[in-house]
Amino acid sequence: MSDKRVTIFDTTLRDGEQCPGASMNLREKSEVARQLARLRVDVIEAGFPVISEGDFEAVQVIAREIKGPVICGLARCVPRDIDAAGEAVKPAGRRGRIHVFLATSKIHREFKLGKAQDEILRLAVDGVKRARGLVEDVEFSPEDGSRTEPDFLIQICRAVVAAGARTVNIPDTVGWAVPDQYAALIGQLHESVPEFRTGKAIISVHCHNDLGLAVANSLAAVRAGARQVECTVIGIGERAGNAALEEIVMALRTRSDFFGGATCGVHAPEILKSSRMVSRMSGLLVQRSKAIVGENAFAHSSGIHQDGILKRRETYEIMDPQDVGWGGTELPLTKHSGRAAMAARLKHLGFNMGESEVAALFAQFKTIGDKKKFVYDEDLSALVEGHITEVPETWSLDYLSVTTGNHTVPTATVRLRKPGVKGCARQEAATGDGPVDAVVKAMDRITEVSGQLKDYSLRAVSQGEDALGEVTLKAMFGNGDLQTGKGASTDVIEASARAYLNAVNRHLGSGHAKAARLAHP
């Protein structure tokens, strides 16, 4: 590997998914992983295999099905964790990586682990050696590395590299670092560990955004000698999130002069598509002013700016929007388009769909086509992603009628069915503060599950008055179970109803609901 090549380690499916309400099912994770492969990230951290059967299965499926990137599983320095990670990434063969971590900072040693430095050192070495016996590619992270005493951090780095770690990641776990200080720490490690200078091992960085400095710290570290950056698409992650992949990639590309010619292998035209997919799958919306992928990222309202852009784009744009995937939409489909045309467009958009799924989507496509003059790529993507985000249905929407107005009490009548159970349909009516509130109350009566809306957003998927409306919401159920729901329709009330029912079905299929039923039979 060139000493100027920066490895892009994507942790959207692990650290990104740990954001409250952003959990994804297996199909959603698989589609995101396929998109990350098209984006050409170097490493996909697919999950934390020992945490749950679902995480283990997701890592194993991704390791088996996704070609190209290294597939990584996270593990604590505990034999059970490491063995689970090794088994999960096994289908990836030589592309499998185990990422072991152990807290090293004084505050973590004293108050979380209750262990001295020599015990931490021994556990770290033992963990790396065990992982090295299962895979060739081992990464070690001293958790809270940015707050660890530099002398001890140097000692840890030397020991784990000697034990077989190819990559040592220095996490800014709580977003405490500032660029100059963090760069100095990375530079000190680079000079103090011979393997970092010879290329036998590399320094990685994993920065959190609690002070809004995740990207700045990551880039400062690259200047100081780091050769792997851990990041997530649109910066999702715990608390304030992680370093945003798209910002790291485009900063290296746009300011190569400043970063000494450092490069990465990411295929930038897939950035926008990746951001939209992760946003939909996670239920986390991209703010309009978000760098690179926000709707306003390349918008110019000032007359002076518009005049400059028309004369020469570079006057007010340091990047070409098309380089990251912005540009003209393909010719739209219509209700007269056939299944083959729709299937071809799905393939062009990067979706991996089976024959039965294409047939189911074609029926939805025809329904939308009857309501809209044109079906745009964004509409089709919303339909596909709605299909992917579906969960096993305890209840399905059969009928919906809403009465509302500025002098009318909003009233909703809802009928739900239990799929596969003949004759099992229930209907209820309710009033509310608004039409969506009335729909929610009627559904709660039918399902006997009470959910409280914590977040609600509506966006037009495509252009025109007949645009498909996509609703993303978060609902908190009685036992503290926060679930994301998604729904799309040309009718925003129907989209809201489908989104809330999606959240209800997720709750009813979750461990939280099962535990509640056992506690209160």
pLDDT at 20 over 60: yes
Q: What is the pLDDT of residues 207-240, one digit of tens each?
A: 999 999 999 999 999 999 999 999 999 999 999 9
Q: What is the pLDDT of residues 377-413, one digit of tens each?
A: 888 888 887 777 667 788 999 999 999 999 999 999 9
Positive or negative, the CA dihedral 277, 280, 286, 288 is positive
Residue 376 lies in a domain: yes
Q: Could you tell me which residues come within 8 angstroms of residue 193 by beta carbon, excluding any fewer than 6 positions away?
A: 154, 157, 158, 161, 168, 201
pLDDT at 38 over 80: yes
Q: Which domain holds residue 153?
A: 7-282
Kindly indicate the confidence band of residue 310, based on its pLDDT and cuts at 50, 70 and 90: low
The packing angle between helices 377-388 and 339-349, to 10°, is 80
pLDDT at 2 over 70: no
Rounded Cα distance between 362 and 174, Å, is: 46
193, 158 contact by CB (below 8 A): yes
Q: What is the pLDDT of residues 403-444, one digit of tens each?
A: 999 999 999 999 999 887 777 889 999 999 999 999 999 999
Report the CATH number that the domain containing residue 50 is assigned in CATH: 3.20.20.70
pTM value?
A: 0.83
Residue 334 lies in a domain: no
Rounded Cα distance between 429 and 240, Å, is: 40
- Do 137 and 189 sit in the same domain of this protein? yes
Q: What is the pLDDT of residue 328?
A: 56
- Measure CA 429 to chain center: 37
Kindly indicate the confidence band of residue 309, based on its pLDDT and cuts at 50, 70 and 90: low
Q: Which two tokens stand for residue 249?
A: 């990639």
- Do 65 and 165 sit in the same domain of this protein? yes
Kindly indicate the confidence band of residue 333, based on its pLDDT and cuts at 50, 70 and 90: confident
Using DSSP's 3-state secondary structure scheme, residue 136 falls into: coil
pLDDT at 329 over 60: no
Across the range 491-519, mean pLDDT stands at: 77
Kindly indicate the confidence band of residue 467, based on its pLDDT and cuts at 50, 70 and 90: confident
- Do 134 and 228 sit in the same domain of this protein? yes
CA distances from 194 to 160, 165, 190, 197, 207 (A): 13, 14, 8, 5, 24
Q: What is the pLDDT of residue 497?
A: 95
- Do 203 and 79 sit in the same domain of this protein? yes
* Phi/psi of residue 290, nearest 5 degrees: -60, 135
Across the range 490-516, mean pLDDT stands at: 82
Tell me how many domains the chain contains: 4
Lowest-confidence range among 142-146, 156-160, 393-397? 393-397
The DSSP annotation for 343-366 comes to: HHHHHHHT----HHHHHHHHHHHH
- Do 187 and 97 sit in the same domain of this protein? yes
CA distances from 230 to 12, 15, 346 (A): 10, 10, 30
Percent above pLDDT 70 for the chain: 92
Rounded Cα distance between 168 and 250, Å, is: 24
- Do 113 and 253 sit in the same domain of this protein? yes
CA distances from 108 to 56, 113, 148, 204, 397 (A): 27, 6, 9, 21, 49
- Do 381 and 401 sit in the same domain of this protein? no
Rounded Cα distance between 330 and 345, Å, is: 9
- Do 267 and 205 sit in the same domain of this protein? yes
Lowest-confidence range among 7-16, 380-389, 449-458? 380-389
pLDDT at 520 over 70: no
Across the range 328-347, mean pLDDT stands at: 80
Residue with tokens 């100059």: 180
Report the CATH number that the domain containing residue 418 is assigned in CATH: 3.30.160.270
pLDDT at 519 over 50: no
Q: What is the pLDDT of residue 313?
A: 64
- Do 403 and 383 sit in the same domain of this protein? no
CB atoms within 10 A of CB 489: 22
Q: What is the pLDDT of residue 254?
A: 96
Residue 27 lies in a domain: yes
Residue 1 lies in a domain: no
Q: Which two tokens stand for residue 409?
A: 């009490």
Residue with tokens 């299944």: 339
Percent above pLDDT 90 for the chain: 65
Q: What is the pLDDT of residues 347-358, one digit of tens each?
A: 877 787 888 888
Kindly indicate the confidence band of residue 521, based on its pLDDT and cuts at 50, 70 and 90: very low
- Do 348 and 425 sit in the same domain of this protein? no
pLDDT at 1 over 50: no
Residue with tokens 């047939």: 359
Taken as a whole, the chain contains a residue count of: 521
Q: What is the pLDDT of residues 63-110, one digit of tens each?
A: 999 999 999 999 999 999 999 999 999 999 999 999 999 999 999 999
Positive or negative, the CA dihedral 48, 50, 51, 53 is positive
Residue 289 lies in a domain: no
Last residue within a domain, chosen from 388, 411, 428: 388
pLDDT at 518 over 70: no
Lowest-confidence range among 149-153, 341-345, 428-432? 341-345
- Do 228 and 343 sit in the same domain of this protein? no
Q: What is the pLDDT of residue 391?
A: 74
The packing angle between helices 511-519 and 492-508, to 10°, is 60
Q: What is the pLDDT of residue 516?
A: 44
> Which amino acid is present at 322?
Q
- Going by C-alpha positions, the residue among 88, 97, 161 that lies closest to residue 124 is 161
Rounded Cα distance between 194 and 201, Å, is: 9
Rounded Cα distance between 332 and 380, Å, is: 10
Q: What is the pLDDT of residue 337?
A: 87
Q: What is the pLDDT of residue 287?
A: 87
Q: What is the pLDDT of residue 515?
A: 45
- Do 79 and 158 sit in the same domain of this protein? yes
Rounded Cα distance between 400 and 377, Å, is: 28
Beta bridge mates, 229: 8, 205
Say how many CA atoms lie within 13 Å of 491 toward its Cβ.
11
- Measure CA 270 to chain center: 15
